Structure 1
Amino acid sequence: MAADPSAAAAPADPDGPDAVRFTWNAWPRSKVEASRCVVPLAVAISPVRSPESLASPPLPYPPLRCKPPCSALLNPFARVDFAAKIWICPLCFSRNHFPPHYAGISENNVPAELFTQCSTVEYLVAGPPGSPAPLPPVFLFVIDTCVIEEELEYVKLSMRKAVALLPEHALVGLVTFGTQVHLHELGFSELSKIYVFRGSKEISKEQILDQLGLSGGGRPGFPKMTQQPGVQQVNGMHPLVTTGVNRFLLPVSECECTLSTLLDELQPDQWPVEAGNRAIRCTGVALNVAAGLLGACVPGTGARIIALLGGPCTEGPGVIVSKDLSEPVRSHKDLDKDAAPHFQKAVKFYDGLAKQLVSQGHVLDVFASALDQVGLAEMKLAIERTGGLVVLSESFGHSVFKDSFKRIFEGGEHSLGLSFNGTFEINCSKDIKVQGVIGPCTSLEKKGALCADTIVGQGNTTAWKMCGLDRNTSLTVFFDVSPSERSGQPGHQNPDLYIQFVTSYQHPEGQMRIRATTVSRKWVDGSTNTEELVEGFDQETAAVVLARYISLKMEIEEEFDATRWLDRSLIRLCSRFGDYRKDDPSSFSLHSNFSLFPQFMFNLRRSQFVQVFNNSPDETAYFRMLLNRESITNSVAMIQPSLISFSFDSPPSPVFLDVASIAVDRILLLDAYFSVVIFHGMTIAQWRNMCYQNQPEHQVTWVHLLVSP
């Protein structure tokens, strides 16, 4: 099916200055009319998108909040009485007095958070006087050594590059594992000192701390772990500074040589593997030890466990397949028939690990580089709930792994802006309820009047924990309309609705920040005024929201038929908003705001998110995790690839997803997000093979065309 070229012709910044996109930019007032819209009332937001998009630099003072239980932040939509020094909250209509330090406020002297263009502002949060500086970010590397020597050399090379890119003050640690888990004590530079844990036995956090001498009582020969006086709480947790930090986690500037020596000495796992068996790999115990170490040394401080996995777990907790090669790794068919004996137990283990990491405020990143599955389907909970990154490749020598791994640690304009320890909160007008969130976060179970009865994703709360987030992180928030009796009475109807998103997080530079985004949209009467509904429909956002919604339902509902559900939804949407004459199919037409939506649904129902045939459970988990966390623009490319044409006669332009777009004098660039394909037409390929690009007379036009994609 061909795609309209305009699908790829997106504006420079389709998400706008607030990084917020609505499925419907005008909302019906009643629950019945909302259900007739078919596409859910939802918002996609990137909580900490690049600060360059902000209209104001970070404000060096704390935000002003409305009185409880509202607690919304002061924003441009508030009504201000400059004479009485009072502001009225647009969400709850409470009257609030400005504090004394706002005494100079006037119509000609307005704080930045009241500027019309500052619907998104960021505040710098200073700690109490005398509080210690926040600890630097922590990177704990967990390396799988059950790989061939060539693969391990690729890992060593990437590790050296990564350490060189880290800030000198960043803390690093190293765990290696195969049949057993080895925790390296970087603080003991005289010789290589390692703590060994059995890979076949599940070990509790307390046992880990006892063995490392990090428990309250300490081990014989080790000092007792103590908390420094005067240390304040950060996000409800104590940033303990203990002797254990300097034993296992050291600044890059102090341990770079030691780490380099350890990498030089690192060998593939020496445990013999019998013929017909898989390598004995204890991934679960390794991650358990890493989480326990961080929990003892740096709870509440931004830290990432970066796991480099080269195969499936075959030993101890988290095992996904037996050692016997005659037993295949579970498939989708096995999961459907409940014929995967290890699956539920492994999921339960990683669910517990996820809860531990979330309580500590730490992130799990996974780089899976193997031809076989490594267990991403089981780890999905731990990765997604901590906001971790995931990369799937065939080898540690593949450019997908090497480039992605390097990208995490790059600074400057290529930086991902990795942030830590975030909390995401929502406040909204009284006639709106929050159903839940789909994305890399965990519910904080903050229940209240704004929680809807219907739950979608992480619901029954208005606050979520985001242990890890970056500039590209996106969340999808689902809403419900629940008008009160008074709001439906004449004279009490507010024409506008308001939603405020507040994200507090630890910036990559270390300081805590609060970012508040307040948006407003119009209420409309959906029963009589469908024109405003149609004009406010965002078909790209709607397609992505439905993709995320059905991916969730496919995971939690065994009998859910995604294809039929999509077909019925499209039929209902077209019958509601399409123009047609009964019994005359040729008369059917859709508004331009809906014209691409059927094509999106056509491609979605055939995509890897819905059709899991020929994909492994790990691949499906990988695809869905990225779909749930990427921006709308990137997610649309996952559903419907963009095709760009390059030629001598015209500038780069989108073309139809059709064989008719192929021409002998064209270069085509297909961007499907997970893969990029460059196609040279016959004439272009012949010129390239004849090396025209090396001839001086063709340097300007021909070379420019060749390198443009």
Structure 2
Amino acid sequence: MQRQQEMNTQEQEQRTLRTAANEQTPNVETHVEPEPAALNDGVTGPSCAQDVAAYCQTEANVLALLHEAPDLVEPRRIVEAVRKMHLCMVTHADVLSVDCVNTLSATTVDTTTADATTVDAATPTITASVPTKKMALDDDAADDDSSMEINIYYSRHHNGAGHALRSGGALAANHIQTGGPSSVMTGVLSHPLTWVFVLPFFLDGVRFSWNSWPCTKLEQTRCVMPTGCLYQPLKPIDGMPPAVEYDPIHCKACSAVLNPYCQVDFVSKLWVCPFCVTRNHFPPHYAENITQENLPAELIPQYTTLEYELQNRQAGPPVFVFCIDTCVPEEELEELKDSIQQTLNQLPPDALIGLVTFGTMVHVHELGFPEVPKSHVFRGNKDFTAQQVFDMLGLAAARKQQQQQQTPGQPQQPQQQVSNSARFLLPVFECGFTLESILEDLQRDPWPVAADQRPQRCTGVAMSVCVGLLEATFRGQGARIMMFVGGPPTVGPGAIVSRDRKEDIRSHTDLQKDKAPLTKKALVHYNDLAARCVASSHVVDIFACSLDQSGVMEMAACVQKTGGVIVLADSFGQSVFRESFRRMFSKFSDEAADCDKDQLTMAFAASVEVLTSREFKVAGAIGPCAPLKRQGAAPKNVSEVEIGVGGTNAWSMGGIDPNTTVAIYFDISNQTPLAPGKARYIQLITRYQHASGRYRTRVTTICGPWTVDPNDTATLGRGFDQEASAVLLARIAVHRSEQGEEQLDIMRWIDRSLIRLAARFADYRKDDPSSFRLSPEFAIFPQFMFHLRRSQFLTVFGYSPDESSYYRHCLLRESTTNSLVMIQPSLLSYSFNGPPVPALLDAASVRSDTILLLDSFFYVVVFHGDTIAAWRDQKFHEDPSHENFKNLLEAPQADAQLIMDSRFPVPRYVVCDQHKSQSRFLMAKLNPSVTHNSMDGQGEVIFTDDVSLKVFMEHLMNLSVKS
């Protein structure tokens, strides 16, 4: 009772503080957010986290929203409810920060009832989470694999994981994302776990594998799953203010940035850092203005994520160098030139551009000489050092000037562009006409190629020249090298195959048997270029468009370490390339803040730094990053245990965009139990160059609880995010595979981790598999692991090395939602029986009278059953009396277009019929519950020796309960 009264008093003081702050006029140093009108100051606040969720649902009018939309919730209203919940829960941050997980009950919403407020107190089991007949295929399928498989959409919603809410409800009107029935959305919006665990993703763009952490290193080991988070540095956050135009204040001891969790002494003008408990004085311009009624933006509770626009540094406009392969066929070159010419209109007028073409030779074109086309030529079979490139391009003076500007002890001066560098890199508004003229006259490589020979393609030398060009002119400033490659490099450093077509390009088998002699040399060459790009803050993008391999595997390090992108397509005329290249230059919407409006969403020269409380350290990161080298001793919060790219707490990320996601792993170093109520703190500091040319710093500060009782597995389990954990585990597996570890060893590690997790957190009786039950927080995690083991990320059979590198690259940089779609594709079923419904990713879902829509991220498949295909071939949809059939055919195509319109890279679109050749795109992803060895039941027969999900789960249960 006393604790509740103290919290209520504290809550009332915070409301009074912000109400008084509204009466102040914000000045340059301070910024005050108006108190939302939806909050009622006269109502006594809740005392625990679960009460907060229920209280805020009432404030946001969530249940009334659901009753008003019985069929489908409008996306706009969902977004508004999320925003209200955000503001309401931040108001009660004093309760949530300490008591967030510890007081949450395991109650779940019974979505089968008509009343959304009905709660089933019994903990659902793995069987109870299986969709009812409304969501399943029919009663006959109850005894097959569907009795063991948890549908990905329904389970996510039912367990409060918030798949639709994570997208802000923007696609809630579409059956693909919502999973169809409104009862599913009812379960999402009315479940307290949704708001407590999923809402932080809205606020800060961070998802943790464990929302409540074990307090000792021993307990962390027993939890099996890695302790980490998935962080989107540029995630658009609803309600976040525009970038403030002043520099952040740092702690003098640990360099943490001032944040809402700092304790402030308004009398002495001091603030206490929550990371190192150091007392810091406010600078004079803060001390003169800060009061309890007038807070700067960084101390307002809502702004746990805040951006600063630095005032003493300015980089200048972004730089783009287009590097074009001229060994491609003439029609391919025309398509590529057309795409680049169209893209010039999307670039900011002040963006600097350069042009390099390569084939047998490398040509660096002078855009500053419009009178006549002029280029500098480099031999394609010779390696050039950085200094040789500087000298041959006449840029040695520019490089020397840069080194003088960066000499320690001298004042930092703005970037000066000397006349020599201006010959090659000019603003779009100055050289646009010249560049278009050069592109129009550009011809394919003139050197003759015999029928039994490959073209002389010097991709490695071309990339080296581009890196040297940017090193000499814009070292340390954001720039992108865009490589357009149409085949394998055959000459010079970086070559992966000889010119003789009798020699096959390396395969996975050749790599395993060490029969690819050129691969090792190529990897060394591209790794050296990657290191130079990281040191210069430059990005490499690869657009490989060919039916043959293009050396993406060898060049992948240049892309992965610099934050670039890879687009793999069959030709430059394919929509996969054309649309993906166009979306590379997407801009902020008209509703964005004035400082972002009409600017590119991509950012440059990015880095991320992680600060932590004393009880745990940073183990490493996996994603589009490279370790940031620093002088002096290593930071104190760096763990000796390395996961991924470890040994540091700061990484260079190069190019980032709103979807870029990095996985950060932690190691709990504390050895003794902690006091109840103690919180942990993490601060993520992202520094980057905005497309406007200004430097920005985004600071995200997160506070979370500890689980003090080592025997309290229930609290730990309720804080488990199975989706984030699956992605974190998948990234570790892919990273280990990229490091050359055997596939079988990785599979065994995944299996053992899953068995240990189930043995610790499942409910069962020893040696009794029939008693095995998983709580909703763990129910679909085994399913994720089943599909991960079968995925293209770990299984290389049937894929080329280039394809494997591309798939892994995408998994290591995409968001949690996209990564889950890659691991376990989504499947929708369309029929005359009702609206589209989620279907089990199972062979039993294939029926002759249905249409299936598969989204695997890399391709979108519209699959027609035999009966549907026959009716379509007979043109029944053209008969006005069969308008329903016409609508049925058009619905999945429209939904597929919605998926492709919102995705980068653009997925391949496949339309196929049952028993036709391209149906393999669907069949390869389905759970083989019906095979040539067991042809009982309904559904399509899959010819495979892979075990089904049912067998996989049976083995898991047997091994987990074993004494």
Q: Same fold (TM over 0.5)?
A: yes
Pairwise CA distance, 1:45: 0.2
Correspondence 1:410-425 to 2 at 5 A: 410-413=586-589, 417-425=601-609
The alignment covers a number of residue pairs equal to: 693
Pairwise CA distance, 1:31: 1.1
Structure 2 Cα separation of the partners of residues 324 and 655 of structure 1: 49
Amino acid aligned to 1:154:
E
Structure 2 Cα separation of the partners of residues 462 and 203 of structure 1: 34
Q: Of the candidates 666, 669, 689, which is equivalent to residue 479 of structure 1? A: 666
Q: Is the 8 A contact 1:8 1:643 kept in 2?
A: no
Structure 1 Cα separation of the partners of residues 731 and 841 of structure 2: 23
Q: Of the candidates 154, 165, 169, which is equivalent to residue 12 of structure 1? A: 165
Structure 2 Cα separation of the partners of residues 74 and 471 of structure 1: 24
Is 1:153 aligned to 2:301, yes or no?
Answer: no
Q: Of the candidates 455, 478, 483, which is equivalent to residue 642 of structure 2? A: 455
Residues 384, 526 of structure 1: alpha-carbon distance in 2 compared, 3 angstrom cutoff: farther
Structure 2 Cα separation of the partners of residues 412 and 179 of structure 1: 40
> Which residue does 2:476 correspond to in 1?
300
Structure richer in helix, relative to its length: 2
Correspondence 1:101-116 to 2 at 5 A: 101-102=285-286, 103-116=288-301
Is 1:634 aligned to 2:818, yes or no?
Answer: yes
Q: Of the candidates 223, 230, 234, which is equivalent to residue 48 of structure 1? A: 234
Is 1:267 aligned to 2:453, yes or no?
Answer: no
1:209-262: CA deviations, max 9, x gaps?
Answer: 11111113x9xxxxx975699999999997341112320111111222211111
> Which residue does 1:142 correspond to in 2?
323
1:615-661: CA deviations, max 9, x gaps?
Answer: 11111111111100000000000000011344566554423212444
1:490-538: CA deviations, max 9, x gaps?
Answer: 76x7621110000011112221111001111111136311111100101
> Which residue does 1:201 correspond to in 2?
382
Residues 29, 227 of structure 1: alpha-carbon distance in 2 compared, 3 angstrom cutoff: closer
The answer for unaligned runs of 5 or more in structure 1 is 219-223
Is 1:523 aligned to 2:699, yes or no?
Answer: no
Work out which structure has the larger RCO, using CA pairs closer than 8 Å and 6 or more positions apart in sequence: 1
Structure 2 Cα separation of the partners of residues 648 and 191 of structure 1: 66
Structure 2 Cα separation of the partners of residues 489 and 317 of structure 1: 56
Q: Is the 8 A contact 2:395 2:421 kept in 1?
A: no
Percent identity of equivalent pairs? 47
> Which residue does 1:125 correspond to in 2?
310
Is 1:257 aligned to 2:433, yes or no?
Answer: yes
Structure 2 Cα separation of the partners of residues 566 and 230 of structure 1: 51
Q: Of the candidates 225, 247, 254, which is equivalent to residue 39 of structure 1? A: 225
Amino acid aligned to 2:448:
P
Amino acid aligned to 2:289:
G
> Which residue does 1:507 correspond to in 2?
690
Amino acid aligned to 1:370:
S
Q: Is the 8 A contact 2:619 2:638 kept in 1?
A: yes
Q: TM-score, normalised by structure 2?
A: 0.69
> Which stretch of the first structure deviates more once superposed, 424-433 or 269-278?
269-278
Correspondence 1:682-697 to 2 at 5 A: 686=871, 690=875, 692=877, 695=880
Correspondence 1:183-194 to 2 at 5 A: 183-194=364-375
Q: Is the 8 A contact 2:623 2:663 kept in 1?
A: yes
> Which stretch of the first structure deviates more once superposed, 660-669 or 364-373?
660-669
> Which residue does 1:221 correspond to in 2?
none
Aligned-pair Cα RMSD in Å: 2.7
Residues 694, 316 of structure 1: alpha-carbon distance in 2 compared, 3 angstrom cutoff: farther
Pairwise CA distance, 1:692: 4.2
Pairwise CA distance, 1:8: 6.0
> Which stretch of the first structure deviates more once superposed, 634-643 or 99-108?
99-108
Residues 435, 229 of structure 1: alpha-carbon distance in 2 compared, 3 angstrom cutoff: closer
Amino acid aligned to 1:210:
D
Structure 2 Cα separation of the partners of residues 290 and 203 of structure 1: 11
Amino acid aligned to 1:450:
N
> Which residue does 2:723 correspond to in 1?
540
Q: Is the 8 A contact 1:693 1:702 kept in 2?
A: no
**1:553 counterpart SS class:** helix
Structure 1 Cα separation of the partners of residues 706 and 673 of structure 2: 14
Structure 1 Cα separation of the partners of residues 330 and 293 of structure 2: 69
> Which residue does 2:23 correspond to in 1?
none
Pairwise CA distance, 1:7: 4.7
Pairwise CA distance, 1:377: 1.1
Residues 438, 228 of structure 1: alpha-carbon distance in 2 compared, 3 angstrom cutoff: closer
> Which residue does 2:579 correspond to in 1?
403
Q: Of the candidates 502, 523, 526, which is equivalent to residue 350 of structure 1? A: 526
Structure 2 Cα separation of the partners of residues 65 and 342 of structure 1: 50
> Which residue does 2:841 correspond to in 1?
657
The answer for unaligned runs of 5 or more in structure 2 is 1-144, 158-162, 167-197, 591-598, 896-963
Correspondence 1:225-374 to 2 at 5 A: 226=401, 239-374=415-550
Q: Is the 8 A contact 2:405 2:413 kept in 1?
A: no
> Which stretch of the first structure deviates more once superposed, 693-702 or 205-214?
693-702
> Which residue does 2:73 correspond to in 1?
none
Pairwise CA distance, 1:705: 3.6
Structure 2 Cα separation of the partners of residues 552 and 200 of structure 1: 33
Q: Is the 8 A contact 1:54 1:121 kept in 2?
A: no
Q: Of the candidates 782, 789, 802, which is equivalent to residue 605 of structure 1? A: 789
Pairwise CA distance, 1:691: 6.6
Amino acid aligned to 1:515:
R
1:46-98: CA deviations, max 9, x gaps?
Answer: 01112x43532222221111112x11111111122222222111111111122
Structure ID, larger Rg: 2
**1:467 counterpart SS class:** strand
Structure 2 Cα separation of the partners of residues 452 and 627 of structure 1: 25
Structure 2 Cα separation of the partners of residues 356 and 700 of structure 1: 58
